[in-house]
């Protein structure tokens, strides 16, 4: 009996092993995709994740073989051994292996590295890509398995090798000549220069005075007031008003004049919707409307893509699949009415340099209204998805139609102009209107006017103005400028901005970016010694050459070789030419308690801190003290706001170590209604709704956040 049981068990195990071997293996990048892809492909597939890159250039050395045509020396990334061992075991047992890393150059390179690790022929039909994590897209991708695109791999290698050469050969020079911890980069240095140049443009700006003159006009009965603006002479010639004397003279003459409507122009104008998002426009709009940083936007977008709600989020294409257009048109007709559906699907053209491998960013299904999934999403996911969904649906809606009226109003000597618009058909604006970096004039309606009609002036108001310097960059306007200049790619916008702020070259003031002293020094040093690296045209031209590699029209070794020859010569000259650069620290009024010197401000990874200038004899450092303004829940002392090593905010008592109060939750001045203890602000997750919890553990009082509906009622 026991023998029979053993035999049966062996047969079952053998069947399982055979079944397992018959399974196909699909390898994705992110573990978030595993469940969805498994669900779509079924039980005959095993799905595994690489958790990102498995091989890369070594961190401890340059990793480029200059004697062997710039071949990169790849090594296994530390900590990836277990993942690789698991993938090898699964691949060996599988009947077929499909590499389904992200559908971009970086993903293509990861698949190529995977093929090397798993001993898969890159020319075999092993590579699959899907622009969206949906059942149809995933199944179709498996049917259309192809060889690894070595042109895309080489384009990624070109960028990686160029960036490594620049970063690993200029950075040590900066450490030696300026200070340790600095870095230079092929893209980051050019972007830092953009911010430095803009700040200098602002500093050098000389404001110019000018005046505007507005007339509040009415009909002869003193009714239907509207505003007309001074334009110039009565013959239509424009006249600039540049000083107070001229403004007052014109104002005086207008006050004694008779006003006549000399010309009325009526026309119907159409306003087209904005195209669906690219990476750049998504980052810009999320900054304007949601106040998201580029990194925060891309994190939420990555999650939405992996959850199957949006198409791939790194793209500069405006192409939309016909099936998606048809879904959107059907949704619009159902929810808004047939009059909101244009006669033909709207098609948008991207600029010539755009890659058309992917679609624009859109929801995977038009019918997936954001409100349906509000409880599924985290706050950032919901806000960004709603923006993407609205933008896409609006892009396929009918144009808005406006009735515009313009009136020329003259006196015997001068002309004023007034204009107004009314919405004839709302079209796409029913759902969505694109944000702007500068304020737009709101639609104003003019009263019914007729030519030759006489008007009266109720008031004439002159106002002084001064021309304004160009504004500082925000993250949104910087991304826009990077795209316009051809600096970087959709995948590099967010990391570049994160790098230059983390290095201390650029700082934030509210939403604007400005260069630090260190940013000025490093940029000037780079301009003087490595002009090409910080030259925007040179950097953009290099992007074009990388594009040529991706298209298969240029060999990547040649691109790197053409760059490295002049660069090597420049590097040697800079080594001899650059002297030691002294950066003077800003002195504070805080006395070092260890040696008595006045401490100085230093820029760290998470902002400024105080350090003793006596380093290395005195190594004293301390955080810049910020008082919260509430009493300590334990001893009544001052509560200080502090930062952890990873940049997270926490709260501690100033009476430490006598008082051991320390908390991630923010204490408030509010008292618990049940026990009189301190109420603490608590979030269940970052940027989540705030609850108020009693500090007294024995109390247990909690006040949950109010719903939006209750707030509106109040």
Question: In this structure, are 341 and 357 located in the same domain?
Answer: yes
Asked if residue 50 lies in contact with residue 29, where contact means CB atoms within 8 angstroms, the answer is yes
Q: Are residues 514 and 429 in the same domain?
A: no
| Residues 268, 409 within the same domain | yes
Same domain, 637 and 707: yes
Same domain, residue pair 292 and 259: no
Residue 638 phi, psi dihedral angles, 5° rounding? -80, 140
pLDDT reported for residue 247: 95
Q: Residues of 573-588 as b/e, b for ≥16 C-beta within 10 angstroms?
A: ebeeebeeeeeeeeee
Report pLDDT for 176: 82
Q: Let me know if residue 350 belongs to a domain.
A: yes
State the pLDDT at residue 511. Answer: 81
**pLDDT, position 606:** 56
The length of the chain is 714
Residue 5 resides in a domain: no
Distance CA 91, CA 383 (A): 40
Domain CATH number, residue 240: 2.70.20.10
Place of tokens 């026991």: 2
- Does residue 477 sit in the same domain as residue 455? no
Tell whether 543 is covered by a domain.
yes
d(CA 394, CA 399): 9
Q: Same domain for 394 and 405?
A: no
13 in any annotated domain = no
Kindly state whether residues 499 and 565 are assigned to the same domain. Answer: yes
Separation CA 544–CA 370 (nearest Å): 38
Q: Which of 278, 273, 390 is nearest to 342 (CA)?
A: 273
Residues 130 and 103: their CA atoms lie apart, in Å, by: 7
- Residue 17: count of CB within 10 angstroms of its CB: 11
Closest CA to 28 of 39, 19, 17: 39
| Number of separate domains in the chain | 6
Tell me the residue range of the domain where 74 lies.
Answer: 18-148
Same domain, residue pair 521 and 384: no
State the catalytic residues: 312
Q: Are 578 and 524 spatial neighbours (Cβ–Cβ below 8 Å)? A: no
Does a structural domain hold residue 12?
A: no
> Which of 126, 148, 170 lies at the terminal end of a domain, its last residue?
148
Phi, psi of 250 (to 5 degrees): -65, -40
In a domain, 198, yes or no: yes
Whether omega for the bond prior to residue 616 falls within 30 degrees of 0, making it cis, is yes
- For residue 181 the two structure tokens come to 């911890």
Write down the pLDDT at residue 713: 43
Q: Which residues of the chain have pLDDT under 70?
A: 1-21, 352-357, 436-443, 603-607, 644-648, 684-689, 705-714
> Is 686 a member of any domain?
yes
**Cα distance from N-terminal residue to C-terminal residue, the chain:** 78
What does the pLDDT read at residue 272? 94
* 137 domain residue, yes or no: yes
CATH code of 345's domain: 1.10.290.10
Best CA proximity match to 581, nearest among 636, 510, 634, 524: 524
Do 131 and 40 lie in one domain? The reply is yes
Does one domain contain both 336 and 353? yes
Q: pTM score, two decimals?
A: 0.75
């Amino acid at each position: 009996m026991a023998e029979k049981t053993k035999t049966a068990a062996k047969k079952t195990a053998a069947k399982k092993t055979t079944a397992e071997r018959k399974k196909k293996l699909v390898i994705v990048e992110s573990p978030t995709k595993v469940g969805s892809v498994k669900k779509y492909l079924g039980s005959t597939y095993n799905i595994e994740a690489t958790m990102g890159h498995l091989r890369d250039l070594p961190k401890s050395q340059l990793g480029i073989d200059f004697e062997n045509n710039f071949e990169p020396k790849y090594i296994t990334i530390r900590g990836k051994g277990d993942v690789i061992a698991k993938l090898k075991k699964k691949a060996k047992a599988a009947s077929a292996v499909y590499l389904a890393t992200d559908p971009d150059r970086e993903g293509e390179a990861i698949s190529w590295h995977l093929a090397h690790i798993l001993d898969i022929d890159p020319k075999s039909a092993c590579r699959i890509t899907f622009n969206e994590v949906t059942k149809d897209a995933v199944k179709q991708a498996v049917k259309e398995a192809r060889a690894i695109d070595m042109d895309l791999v080489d384009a990624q290698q070109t960028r990686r090798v160029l960036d490594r050469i620049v970063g690993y050969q200029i950075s040590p020079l900066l450490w030696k000549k300026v200070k340790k911890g600095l870095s230079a980069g092929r893209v980051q240095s050019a972007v830092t220069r953009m911010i430095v140049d803009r700040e200098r443009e602002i500093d050098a700006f000389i404001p110019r005075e000018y005046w505007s003159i507005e007339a509040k006009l009415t009909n002869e009965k003193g009714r239907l007031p509207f505003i007309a603006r001074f334009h110039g002479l009565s013959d239509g010639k424009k006249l600039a008003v540049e000083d107070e004397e001229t403004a007052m003279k014109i104002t005086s003459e207008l006050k004694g004049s008779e006003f006549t409507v000399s010309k009325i122009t009526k026309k119907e104008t159409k306003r087209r919707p904005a195209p669906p998002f690219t990476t750049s426009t998504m980052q810009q709009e999320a900054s304007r409307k949601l106040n998201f940083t580029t990194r925060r936007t891309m994190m939420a977008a990555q999650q939405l893509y992996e959850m199957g709600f949006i198409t791939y989020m790194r793209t500069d294409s405006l192409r939309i699949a016909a099936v998606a257009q048809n879904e959107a048109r059907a949704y619009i007709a159902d929810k808004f009415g047939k009059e909101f559906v244009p006669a033909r699907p709207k098609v948008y053209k991207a600029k010539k340099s755009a890659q058309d491998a992917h679609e624009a960013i859109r929801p995977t299904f038009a019918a997936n209204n954001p409100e349906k999934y509000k409880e599924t999403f985290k706050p950032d996911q919901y806000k960004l998805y709603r923006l993407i969904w609205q933008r896409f649906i609006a892009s396929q809606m009918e144009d808005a139609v406006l009735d515009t009226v313009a009136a020329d109003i003259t006196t015997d000597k001068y002309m004023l102009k007034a204009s107004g618009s009314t919405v004839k058909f709302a079209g796409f604006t029913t759902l969505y209107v694109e944000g702007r970096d500068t304020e737009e004039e709101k639609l104003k309606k003019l009263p019914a006017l007729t030519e030759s009609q006489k008007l009266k002036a109720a008031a004439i108001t002159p106002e002084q103005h001064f021309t304004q310097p160009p504004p500082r960059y925000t993250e949104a306007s910087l991304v826009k400028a990077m795209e316009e200049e051809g600096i970087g790619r959709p995948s590099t916008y967010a990391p570049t901005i994160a790098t230059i702020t983390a290095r201390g070259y650029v700082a934030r003031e509210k939403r604007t970016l400005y260069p630090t002293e260190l940013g000025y020094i490093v940029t000037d040093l780079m301009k003087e010694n490595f002009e090409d690296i910080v030259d925007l045209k040179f950097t953009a031209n290099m992007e074009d050459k990388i594009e040529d590699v991706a298209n298969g029209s240029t060999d990547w070794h040649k691109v790197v070789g053409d760059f490295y020859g002049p660069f090597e010569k420049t590097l040697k000259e800079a080594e001899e030419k650059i002297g030691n650069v002294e950066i003077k620290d800003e002195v504070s009024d805080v006395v070092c308690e260890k040696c008595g010197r006045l401490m100085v401000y230093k820029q760290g990874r998470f902002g400024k801190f105080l350090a003793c200038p006596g380093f290395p004899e005195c190594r004293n450092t301390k955080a810049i003290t910020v008082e919260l303004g509430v009493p300590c829940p334990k001893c009544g002392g001052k509560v200080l706001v502090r930062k952890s090593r990873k940049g997270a905010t926490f709260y501690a008592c100033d009476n430490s170590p006598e008082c051991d109060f320390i908390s991630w939750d923010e204490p408030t001045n509010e008292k618990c209604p049940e026990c009189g203890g301190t109420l603490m602000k608590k979030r269940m997750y970052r940027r989540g709704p705030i609850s108020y919890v009693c500090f007294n553990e024995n109390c247990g009082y909690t006040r949950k956040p109010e719903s939006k509906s209750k707030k509106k009622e109040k």
